Structure 1
Amino acid sequence: MEAGPQDAPLQCLIKRDKKNGTFYLYLALSPSFTDKGKFLLAARRYRRGAHTEYIISLDAEDLCQGSKAYVGKLRSNFLGTNFTIYDSQAPYEGAKPSNGRAGRRVASKQISPQVPAVNFEVGQVSYKFNLLKSRGPRRMMCSLTCPSSLSEKISTKKKVEEFSPVPGYTVLKNKAPRWHQHLECWCLNFHGRVTVASVKNFQVVATIDQSKPGGKGDEETVLLQFGKVGDDTFTMDFRQPLSAFQAFAICLTSFGTKLACE
């Protein structure tokens, strides 16, 4: 749940199991795309009426909202173009739980008294409609709630004071690719980390620093990139201010057909 490194991205792999709609996130321990690496998180896709939900868990076998391994969930609208990210833990001190059925984990009778029955909304991901069916990749925007500064400890001879993180917001957008005349396709430089062309592939960059009125983010530094390297294998590389949970949730939004966006 902590933010990734600042200087270089953490390299991860996502393995997809189409049969049961399950996705597994691994920390890459070698440059090979075939090595699984260290398991981090798992997610399973469920259909909830007109909506789709991805339950995210620390346990690869126990993927239900009532589990102690439950981390959070991702919920989409009917078209699969707008997604809400929910965290099982408050993102900052004083955060209010989400209202309504979508924000609840499960009915109070179905969950252990030791496990909170609420979720906290921590992000939104939206894909722009392509009404004119113009050529090009999907366009997306992400708005995330996250601490704007990490907890600090100041040591003195008398005491150690702890300061709680201050809630902030990170706004991201997909990096615009360039049209390659010779290859006749849209291209992004994934530096060898993506090897298969796919509409799912993307890179996101910061857009606005809301702590500085009128300030703009660094639109060159890629904070998260996701892409295909095999039939059911994808790379996910992320850095600060994103956590593995946030990056994984954003990547999950790329799966599934979006007829209105491509």
Structure 2
Amino acid sequence: MLQPGPRDTALQCLIKRNKKNSMFYLYLAASPSFTEKGKFLLAARRQRHGAHTEYTISLDPNDLSQGSNAYVGKLSSDFLGTKFTIYDSQPPHNGAKHSSSRAGRRFTSKQISPQVPAGNFEIGEVSYKFNLLKSRGPRRMVSSLRSPILDEPEAEPKLTKSKSVVAGQTILRNKAPRWHEHLQCWCLNFHGRVTVASVKNFQLVATMDPSQPGGKGDGETVLLQFGKVGDDAFTMDYRQPLSAFQAFAICLTSFGTKLACE
């Protein structure tokens, strides 16, 4: 699993979508330009399993099988596409257990590291709230993540496990947009990192949860933002405590229609 991002500044990334083969590619931005891909980080493939959708996430864009050494984790949705579970191939902390769910039991014995066998460990959830008024408006989303607590920020994503063994709980909620009377639309300040209006665009902030280790947030600092910059291009900017894998998985949940949520 990738290390958490830096504490004080966000890492700027770019997601490219290929609708023909249901693939998504994550790159670390080489420049502020939305056209330069930069360094490849992760790839994901969307597949239907009955009434459910699953995204397999890998370090190798040409090998997305769960039996691969490049397998990082997966994202699984309910049939409405409004609730998602994130699985990591490696335990996020000491004492973590394999998922007991049917979806989580589909893993192999191949290893990503020589110490820990690959599996599916549930590390978080993302849910979209129902829009009871059924009027066109911004989505409401909540994410709950279990992740190690780090004392030192990372300058860039690393393909190593954290040395921390303490599991922290982070609750993220989307930052509420404001209605712009002149433009007649809901608006958020993405500081130039988003150029196309879309219901997929969001910013997530951490809420205060004193009952959990590291469960603190000011409700204002944006820890993850995602937005459209082209037909199949999206920016993804994230910071600690999120890793590139966690941020990518959360952003993948934004694709697709959310029944009764928008």
| Shorter-chain TM-score above 0.5 | yes
How has the CA–CA distance of structure 1 residues 46 and 7 changed in structure 2, closer, same or farther, with 3 Å as cutoff? same
Matches of 1:193 and 1:119, distance apart in 2: 33
Query: What is the Cα-based RMSD across aligned positions, in Å?
Result: 1.8
2:108 equivalent to 1:70: no
Q: Conserved in 2, the CA contact under 8 Å of 1:169 and 1:210?
A: no
Instruction: Give the structure, 1 or 2, with the largest relative contact order (CA under 8 Å, sep 6 or more).
Output: 2
Corresponding residue number in structure 1 for 2:158: none
Deviations 1:178-235 (A, max 9, x none): 000000000000000000000000000001234469x862111100000000000000
How has the CA–CA distance of structure 1 residues 239 and 24 changed in structure 2, closer, same or farther, with 3 Å as cutoff? same
Letter in 2 for 1:37: G
What secondary structure, in the 3-state scheme, does the structure 1 residue paired with 2:247 have? helix
How has the CA–CA distance of structure 1 residues 114 and 206 changed in structure 2, closer, same or farther, with 3 Å as cutoff? closer
Q: Conserved in 1, the CA contact under 8 Å of 2:111 and 2:118?
A: no
How has the CA–CA distance of structure 1 residues 84 and 142 changed in structure 2, closer, same or farther, with 3 Å as cutoff? same
Matches of 2:257 and 2:44, distance apart in 1: 18
Matches of 2:111 and 2:259, distance apart in 1: 42
Corresponding residue number in structure 2 for 1:47: 48
Identity, in percent, stands at: 77
Q: TM-score, normalised by structure 2?
A: 0.89
Alignment of 1:176-195 (within 5 A): 176-195=176-195
2:217 equivalent to 1:247: no
Alignment of 1:40-189 (within 5 A): 40-106=41-107, 111=108, 113-114=110-111, 116=117, 118-150=119-151, 164-189=164-189
Deviations 1:133-169 (A, max 9, x none): 1342000000000112358xxxxxxxxxxx7421110
Q: Conserved in 1, the CA contact under 8 Å of 2:168 and 2:212?
A: no
Q: Which runs of 5 or more structure 1 residues have no equivalent in the other structure?
A: 152-162
Give aligned pairs, total: 246
2:253 equivalent to 1:233: no
Q: Conserved in 2, the CA contact under 8 Å of 1:66 and 1:105?
A: no
Q: Which runs of 5 or more structure 2 residues have no equivalent in the other structure?
A: 153-162
Corresponding residue number in structure 1 for 2:218: 218
Q: Conserved in 2, the CA contact under 8 Å of 1:175 and 1:204?
A: yes
Matches of 2:150 and 2:75, distance apart in 1: 25
How has the CA–CA distance of structure 1 residues 64 and 10 changed in structure 2, closer, same or farther, with 3 Å as cutoff? same
Corresponding residue number in structure 2 for 1:200: 200
Matches of 1:202 and 1:75, distance apart in 2: 20
What's the offset of the Cα at 1:131? 2.7
Bigger CA radius of gyration:
1
Q: TM-score, normalised by structure 1?
A: 0.89
Letter in 1 for 2:35: T
What's the offset of the Cα at 1:26? 0.0
How has the CA–CA distance of structure 1 residues 24 and 129 changed in structure 2, closer, same or farther, with 3 Å as cutoff? same
